Structure 1
Amino acid sequence: MTNTADDDTLTTAGLAASGNGQILLLACGALAREILDLKQRNGWDHMDLTCLPAILHVHPERITDAVRNAVAKHRDTYAKIYVVYADCGTGGLLQAACQELGVEMVQGPHCYAFFDGLKAFEDRGEVTSFFLTDFLVRQFDSFVWKPLGLDRHPELLPMYFGNYEKLVYLAQTDDPDLVVLAKQQAARMGLLFEHRQTGYGDLETTLESWAAR
């Protein structure tokens, strides 16, 4: 794994742990920038970060074993390990593995929900919405367009997204350029667009609680 927070390397290689903290945050590469920002702003020098490749989300059946292997790799180095993943399409397998390993993970079905706030996300029940975060806006082609083959077969677009009505951009930062890019992606998909400024949502409060332990 690399130890730089470049989007492309976070997608394909992840982020190597550095430092000698007491707590390790084992996270998805798609969350690296947000976690590093929170660490810096709050002075959480006792917390180290390592990330698995974000592209694992294209194959969620691989996430649980990847987390297991990473916990085993780092267990002897850190007093505590926290898993900064939600369920992320693992069908409860990641939660079961974390319970078995004795490590705590972020609550919720996926990062869209904890950025938006779990209760707010559940209350909205937006089953016809397609969600993007800052990272996914920047890495849209790598995570959506190319894995679905839409770069080669755009005629498949109605098959994949015909039941969706709008694209919701859950923004962690106030970046007008990302809003423009997200609007363009919504237009590509033939969807209405909504920009929702969430900040870090439940991710921030969860990390705060872990940092204080």
Structure 2
Amino acid sequence: MDAVDVELQLGSPSDERTKAEKVRVIACGAIAREVLAIRNANGLDHIDLLCLPAIWHAHPEKIAPGVEKAVEEARAAGFERVFVGYADCGTGGLLDKVCERLGVERIAGPHCYSFFAGNEAFAATEDDVTAFFLTDFLARQFRAFVIEPLGLDRYPQLKDMYFGNYTKLVYLSQVEDEGLQKKAQEAADYLGLAYEYRFTGYGDLGAELLRAR
């Protein structure tokens, strides 16, 4: 589930259900673990999950056209109900235009940090203006999704350019895992930022998936 550049299609536990009865959830690969955990914990076996490449996290211009193609393919394959497992995620409103045109809904919020923290709580936090956020996925994949895309492995002097205005790294954790906490602390040390840990669980994601019916 941590693949960087492939699409993942994960059928539901009861694959005998017809596609018309299921909901195709088209989600960012960076939240695949969380979607599956919520699905399995709540018996949401009507959810059929398709994950688009998580590396689009670093290339948000690919999200809207990628989702549009995936929605059209899902409907052509017989899925009558489709839900988009993305927040705006840096698309600048383009994803909303796709969703409106195709008549599908998406996860509420500006990005995954917000819906994991809870959109209302995230919006009310004033001292996070200079915070750089990690989720479980990004703590696990910090090198592949932060260091390498930004070229910091080749040009470490760029750290100040990219992160000079940040004061802290905030790790929003979905599961309490000491190994991931250690990785997040190491990421903060690497960037020269203060470290803050917040356990969020799945935040608003569970409620969003519960309405994907």
TM-score normalised by L of structure 2:
0.93
Cross-structure match for 2:201? 199
* 1:147-200 residue CA offsets vs partner (Å, 9 max, x unmatched): 111001111111100000000000000101100110010000000000000000
Shift of 1:16: 1.7
Cross-structure match for 2:38? 38
Cross-structure match for 2:8? 15
User: For 1:146 and 1:80, how far apart are their aligned partners in 2?
Assistant: 37
User: For 2:53 and 2:7, how far apart are their aligned partners in 1?
Assistant: 4
Q: Report how many residues are paired.
A: 204
Structure 2 unaligned regions, length at least 5:
none
Cross-structure match for 2:129? 127
Q: What residue identity is the alignment partner of 1:147?
A: P
Q: What residue identity is the alignment partner of 1:54?
A: A
Cross-structure match for 2:82? 81
- Counting only pairs closer than 5 Å after superposition, residues 1-213 of structure 1 correspond to structure 2 as 5=1, 7=2, 9=3, 11-18=4-11, 19=15, 20-21=18-19, 22-76=22-76, 77-125=78-126, 126-210=128-212, 213=213
Q: Secondary structure at the match of 2:157?
A: helix
Shift of 1:14: 2.4
Could you say which structure has the greater relative contact order, defined with CA pairs below 8 angstroms and 6 or more residues apart? 2
Q: Secondary structure at the match of 1:16?
A: strand
Q: Secondary structure at the match of 2:50?
A: strand
CA RMSD, 1 decimal = 1.1
Which consecutive segments of 4 or more residues in structure 1 shift more than 2 A? 17-21
Q: What residue identity is the alignment partner of 2:153?
A: D
Between stretches 181-190 and 55-64, larger displacement belongs to: 55-64
- Percent identity between matched residues is 52
TM-score normalised by L of structure 1:
0.93
